[in-house]
Amino acid sequence: MTRPVVIDTDPGCDDALALLLALERSELDLVGLTTSHGNTAVDATTTNARSILELTDRTDVPIAKGADRPLAVDLQTAEHIHGSDGIRGPLPEPTEATRPVDTHAATFIVEQARAHEGELTLAALAPLTNVALALALEPDLPELLDELVLMGGAAFSPGNVTQLAEANFHSDPHAAHRVVRDLDPTIVGLDVTKHATLPSEWVDSIPRDDPLGRSINEWLTYYSAEHLERYDIDSAPIHDALVIAALVDDVLETDPFYMEVGTDSDLAQGALVCDPNDVTGNEPNGTVAVDADYERYRDLFVETIDRFVAETIH
């Protein structure tokens, strides 16, 4: 039985690979994409998402364009990492077949949660603005969703934007604060995604004499040499793909915690704070991925992408 999934995304190189993984796995029924500001401005993330659907011949998947700015802080984007348009590599121009629906992403999330009551998985790979707005529109969203799985936060690891904060949570800390407080999420943060790398020899094996292969290769190698050295890794972590892999297979180990997200404008902005010693006495309001079966993740990822490339590149 397939699970219905909405992915909230801001493509983004690792988002692109996560979408490719989701689109190619028969276990998942992708009933829609919603787009947000994040790796670049929302107009560009929407164009990128449309192009990925064109590339994979999945123009049947509806797209809803969402928030163009955070709830209360200034917009920050990451073109310096993901490329001038928020993504690297050649992509097809979107056509009318992928024109966004005339519904805001937050409304679309609520509509899909009602249509698939108790069964919908919301996979949030972007700053959580759209999800927080959906919760404001529909306070019963926690009961309507089967689960919310999100890429964000750094529970017990250093951040990648500040010493404490991961990019998605830092980009819209007020949205992250509300979502973590009220939506019982499964948080797949830097604690585990920083290790979600792929074998360098496999990355090098992808044919680059074809536009598709060149795009996939550039998505897989979006980290600069400086970033690889900073984090002491051989290849770029594909953060968002670990979330999708977890929807397909049991690759995560999670623990429940009471959690909060800082909204201060300085060091605490976007910081995910867990209570492992129960000093607050509060019941857990979500779970955090604390470890992953990386070999299983890599096998699933490589098998899926290899199959897609073999079927698509002639």
Q: What is the pLDDT of residues 265-280, one digit of tens each?
A: 888 999 999 999 999 9
Number of domains in the chain: 1
314 found inside a domain: no
**CATH assignment at residue 242:** 3.90.245.10
Give the chain's mean pLDDT.
95
Residue 312: CB atoms within 10 Å: 15
171-206, pLDDT tens digit by residue? 999 999 999 999 999 999 999 999 999 999 999 999
62 found inside a domain: yes
Residue 83 has pLDDT above 80, yes or no: no
Q: Which helix (H) or strand (E) holds 148?
A: strand 145-151
72 found inside a domain: yes
- pLDDT > 90: percent of the chain: 85
Would you say the pTM of this structure is higher than 0.95?
Answer: yes
**264, burial (CB in 10 Å: exposed 0-12, middle 13-18, buried 19+):** exposed
Contact 17, 220 (CB under 8 A): yes
Task: Find the domain containing 186 and state its range.
Answer: 3-309
Phi, psi of 19 (to 5 degrees): -65, -40
pLDDT at 314: 60
pLDDT at 90: 86
Residue 211 has pLDDT above 90, yes or no: no
30 found inside a domain: yes
Quick one: residue 163, left, alpha or beta (phi over 0 = left, psi -120 to 50 = alpha)? alpha
Residue 147: CB atoms within 10 Å: 16
260 found inside a domain: yes
Taking residues 91-113, what's their average pLDDT? 97
How sure is the predictor about 223, in pLDDT bands with cuts at 50, 70 and 90? confident
195 found inside a domain: yes
How sure is the predictor about 125, in pLDDT bands with cuts at 50, 70 and 90? very high
Out of 85-89, 217-221, 238-242, 256-260, least confident range? 85-89
Of 209 and 58, more confident = 58
302 found inside a domain: yes
9 found inside a domain: yes
DSSP-based three-state secondary structure for 119 = coil
From the candidates 177, 195, 239, 314, give the one annotated as an active-site residue.
239
Classify residue 36 by its DSSP letter: -
Residues in Cβ contact with 120 at an 8 Å cutoff, skipping those fewer than 6 apart: 4, 5, 6, 31, 112, 113, 144, 145, 146
DSSP of 62-73? -EEE--SS-SSS
Residue 166: CB atoms within 10 Å: 29
Using CA atoms, how far residue 148 sits from 136, 228, 305, in Å, is 16, 30, 25
Classify residue 138 by its DSSP letter: -
281-299, pLDDT tens digit by residue? 999 999 999 999 999 999 9
239 carries an active-site annotation:
yes
DSSP of 225-258? HHHHHHHT-SS---HHHHHHHHHHS--EEEEEE-
Taking residues 33-62, what's their average pLDDT? 96
DSSP-based three-state secondary structure for 117 = coil
Q: Which two tokens stand for residue 30?
A: 């992708």
Out of 27-31, 52-56, 122-126, 166-170, least confident range? 52-56
Residue 212 has pLDDT above 90, yes or no: no
Q: Which helix (H) or strand (E) holds 171?
A: helix 167-171
